């Protein structure tokens, strides 16, 4: 089954304790992206990756890091989480190509993070 | 600045009645337009998209959306609502010229279909 998976689905942590949220897709997609969802704000892009070893900042990258060492994985790293990073996080993937911008982004199930 | 507006936080309809969830956008050029649905404790599921061509787009689960360039709108519609349609709906746009392929989302509209 074609899918985007995220782990963990739920996480409660404390300020300053480094954490990683994993994202994996089995569709051989080149493009992957992280969004955060906050009430009344919709989803906002944090980081994206066009391919292995190619990453760039989205609209709200402060406090986050990413890496793309393999095509299927795109982990989101919070080196020193703070309460304002409490949010619902989504990973997405798609396959840019000749019709790059028209491709649909497929989303993972989300990770609900609470930072105390 | 690019933006998407979903003016209604919640839409209430009776089962069997038609429904409309509104979306307007402000993006330069000719954007690509999407609708996603989010069920409780689930990720976003793709419903439909407008790229070019016919202004009326048909998607999953009987939903359709009408692109109106002059009004910069992309309203989601369904002729006959089901209780199972109750969920959170997001409109999103992508600037054709944006190399990040970023989706710009509206704030979401909660649809409640009562039996």
Give the lowest-confidence range in A23-32, A58-67, B70-79, B93-102.
B93-102
CB pair distance less than 8 Å for B102 and A90 = no
CB pair distance less than 8 Å for A58 and B108 = no
pLDDT greater than 90 at residue A13? yes
Distance CA A110, CA A106 (A): 12
User: Which residue bears the tokens 């009562």?
Assistant: B114
Q: B84: buried, middle or exposed (CB in 10 Å: 19+, 13-18, 0-12)?
A: exposed
> Which residues, in sequence order, are bridge partners of residue B27?
none
What is the interface size between A and B, counted as CB pairs within 8 Å? Answer: 61
Q: Which residue has the higher pLDDT, A96 or A54?
A: A54
Mean pLDDT of A41-51: 92
Distance CA A88, CA A86 (A): 7
pLDDT greater than 60 at residue A100? no
Residue A58 sits at the chain B interface (C-beta within 8 Å): yes
Distance CA B72, CA B26 (A): 7
pLDDT greater than 70 at residue A68? yes
> What is the pLDDT at residue B52?
82
Residue B44 sits at the chain A interface (C-beta within 8 Å): yes
Q: For residue B7, give Cα distances in angstroms to A2, B63, B77.
A: 34, 19, 15
> What is the pLDDT at residue A98?
47
If DSSP states are collapsed to H, E and C, what string results for chain B? Answer: CCEEECCCCEEEEECCCCEEECCEEECCCCCEEEEEEECCCCCEEEEEEECCCCCEEECHHHCEEEEECCCCEEEEEECCCCHHHCEEEEEEEECCCCCCCCCEECCCEEEEEEC
Q: Give chain A's mean pLDDT.
A: 92
The one-digit pLDDT tens for each residue of chain B (115 residues) are 789 999 999 999 999 999 999 999 998 877 899 999 999 878 899 999 998 888 999 999 999 999 999 999 999 999 999 999 999 999 999 888 887 888 999 999 999 999 9
């Amino acid at each position: 089954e074609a899918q985007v998976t995220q782990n963990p689905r739920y996480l409660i942590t404390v300020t300053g304790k480094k954490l990683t949220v994993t994202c994996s897709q089995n569709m051989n997609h080149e493009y992957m992206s992280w969004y955060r969802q906050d009430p009344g704000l919709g989803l906002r892009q944090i980081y994206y990756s066009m391919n292995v070893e190619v990453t760039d900042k989205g609209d709200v990258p402060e406090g986050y890091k990413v890496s793309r060492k393999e095509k299927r994985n795109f982990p989101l790293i919070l080196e020193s989480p703070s309460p304002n990073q409490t949010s619902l996080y989504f990973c997405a993937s798609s396959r840019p190509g000749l019709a790059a911008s028209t491709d649909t982004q497929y989303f993972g199930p989300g990770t609900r993070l609470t930072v105390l | 600045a690019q933006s998407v507006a979903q003016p209604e936080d919640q839409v209430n309809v009776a089962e069997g009645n038609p429904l409309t969830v509104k979306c307007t956008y402000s993006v330069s050029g000719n954007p690509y337009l999407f609708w996603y649905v989010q069920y409780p404790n689930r990720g976003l599921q793709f419903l439909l998209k407008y790229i070019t061509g016919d202004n009326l787009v048909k998607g999953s689960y009987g939903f359709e959306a009408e692109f109106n360039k002059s009004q910069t709108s992309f309203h989601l519609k369904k002729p006959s609502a089901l209780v199972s349609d109750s969920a959170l709906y997001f409109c999103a746009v992508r600037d054709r010229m944006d190399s990040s392929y970023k989706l710009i989302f509206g704030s979401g509209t909660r649809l409640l279909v009562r039996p």
